[in-house]
Every structure is written in C-alpha cells, then in structure tokens.
Structure 1
Amino acid sequence: MIPSQTEMNSSSKPKRKNFIWSLKPEWITGLLQIMMEYLNANMRSAQGFKDSVYQGAAQKMKEKFGIEVTGEQCKNQIRHQRSVWIHIQELKRKSGVSWDETKKMIVMGQEEYASHIQAFPKDAAYLNIAIANYVELKIVCGLGHATGE
C-alpha cells in the first residue's frame, strides 16, 4: 500500500494517511529538485510558491517516483525542509564549530560534539557528516537563486 492512500474512517469520510517522506530520502531530494525547476522558471514570488506550483510538484512526484502525494503534502514538506535549513544555519553560527564548504559539513571537535549531542541528540544528523541536499536546501529554502547548475 502506498503511504498516502486514503481509507474510510468511522464517520465514512475519506481519511488520508500521513505520507512518510523519510521512507526514501530520494523523495525529498526529488521534491527539492522539482522545486528548483520551478525556481529556474521564476515561479516563486517574494511570498513564496503558489499552491498551483505545489500541485504541479505533486504531479511531477507521481510521474518521477510513482507515488501519490498532494500539493499540500509537498508544501508541508518544503515547510519542514525550511525549518531544517534554519536549524543548520543556527548550528553553523555556534561557537566552536567550523564549516567545510567542500564537504558541506558542520565540523565540531570530539569533546564539544560529545557534550553537544548529549544535550541535543537530534543534532547528530547535522554535525561532522555531510549534509544531504545542502545545495538544494540553500536554493529552495534559503531564498537563494537557482543558477541552473
């Protein structure tokens, strides 16, 4: 069963199951790349993407991966990725860290890392390892500009 298929609840209204993007990281990468295509086509305004862009992204996700997602689910995932981007930027500004531009990695010393991860275990996904989709996040969520590269 595809994670987003609908089912009927007790009041006989269709109930949409949550779509779990993290099941396949390539889905997130694919969505970010699709959103970059829309950026290249100048389809983002100062207020962000319109709902029609997210609907188009959902259709492209179906064509590319064979998955059923809604425009709203795409919009929510981009919103989530934007919060990830903001968190990465906050981590990069912390004292005692450096940024490796080549590896797209936030570098922290072993002692600092151990104490930081003890206090903030979820940050392990962003420290001392290459950040997946960094360039795409920078362009789509960091309000950068797509260059077509």
Structure 2
Amino acid sequence: MDNSLVDALVEQVNLGLKSDNGFKPKTYKATIREINETCGILLENRHISNRLRTLKRLYISIKDLLSASGFGWDSDKKMIVATDDSHPYAERVRGKHIDRWDDLAFIFGNDCAHRSFASTA
C-alpha cells in the first residue's frame, strides 16, 4: 500500500495539488480513490492522513540523520551509510534500504523544517 500511496502523492504534487501547508483536500480524495482501486481495499481520509504523517516523520528523521556527521547516502544501494557507530541511531539504519527516498524528498522536501530549526510550542 505504501508504494501506491507514494505513487499517488507524487502524481498529486506533479499536478500542483500541494500547497505550502500540505496537500489540498481533493488530493486526499484522489489518493483514496487510486489506492482503493489499485490495492482493492477501502480506505478513508483518516487512513491516508495517518500514513502520510508516519511517512513525513520518517522523512524528517532520515533527513536529520543524513545531516549529522558520520552519515551519508548511497544512491546506488538506496541506503544510509553510517561511518560512525557512536550515534545512537547508527545501528538501526545500517544496511536498511529506503527504496522511495527520492520520492519522499519530492513529496515532503520543501515543507519540512529541520528539527534543529523547528520551533516548539
């Protein structure tokens, strides 16, 4: 389902249905329709919103990690390369493939604040 969701969201971004504040309401309808047809399951807006939040958190975590010293990206293998084992997250990501990283960056890239720059309420 995640691949279908990412495909649908990339299409919506290409159609210009994403604003600075996130996706427009008709994006959710189109995405739900596409996933329901592709995967043969019945999803609702809340399912898409929840999964979108999870994917966005994943994107932000990986982006933050890649900006840390000792981490890099192997675009051929689509994985994080950790040269420094001292980071607490290094062991969890070593050797882990992230096939859709480029698409996640396309979907979330311009609207995610870095944690070090994000304000807290």
**TM-score, with structure 2 as normaliser:** 0.78
Relative contact order, higher structure (CA 8 A, sep 6+): 2
What is aligned with 2:40?
A: 66
What is aligned with 2:72?
A: 98
Q: Percent identity?
A: 27
Name stretches of at least 5 consecutive residues in structure 2 with no aligned partner. 112-121
Distance 1:81 1:64 in 2: 19
**Which deviations, in whole Å up to 9, do the C-alpha atoms of 1:118-148 show, x marking residues without a partner?**
x448x62x3333213111111112238xxxx
Q: Which amino acid aligns with 2:101?
A: Y
**Which deviations, in whole Å up to 9, do the C-alpha atoms of 1:93-124 show, x marking residues without a partner?**
22222222322221124x71xx54xx448x62
Name stretches of at least 5 consecutive residues in structure 1 with no aligned partner. 1-26, 145-149
What is aligned with 2:110?
A: 143
**Which deviations, in whole Å up to 9, do the C-alpha atoms of 1:7-62 show, x marking residues without a partner?**
xxxxxxxxxxxxxxxxxxxx111101001111111111122112221122111111
Q: Which amino acid aligns with 2:23?
A: F
Q: Which amino acid aligns with 1:78?
A: L
Question: Could you tell which deviates more after superposition, 90-99 or 54-63?
Answer: 90-99
Name the SS of the counterpart of 2:28 in structure 1.
helix
Name the SS of the counterpart of 2:16 in structure 1.
coil
Larger-Rg structure = 1
Q: How far did residue 90 of structure 1 move?
A: 1.3
Q: Report the number of matched residues.
A: 111
Distance 1:143 1:78 in 2: 15
Name the SS of the counterpart of 2:73 in structure 1.
strand
Contact conserved, 1:82 with 1:142, CA < 8 A, in 2?
no
Q: What is the root-mean-square deviation in Å for CA atoms of aligned residues?
A: 2.2
Which of 80, 86, 102 is matched with 2:60 structurally? 86
Runs of 4+ in 1 over 6 A off after TM superposition: none
**TM-score, with structure 1 as normaliser:** 0.65
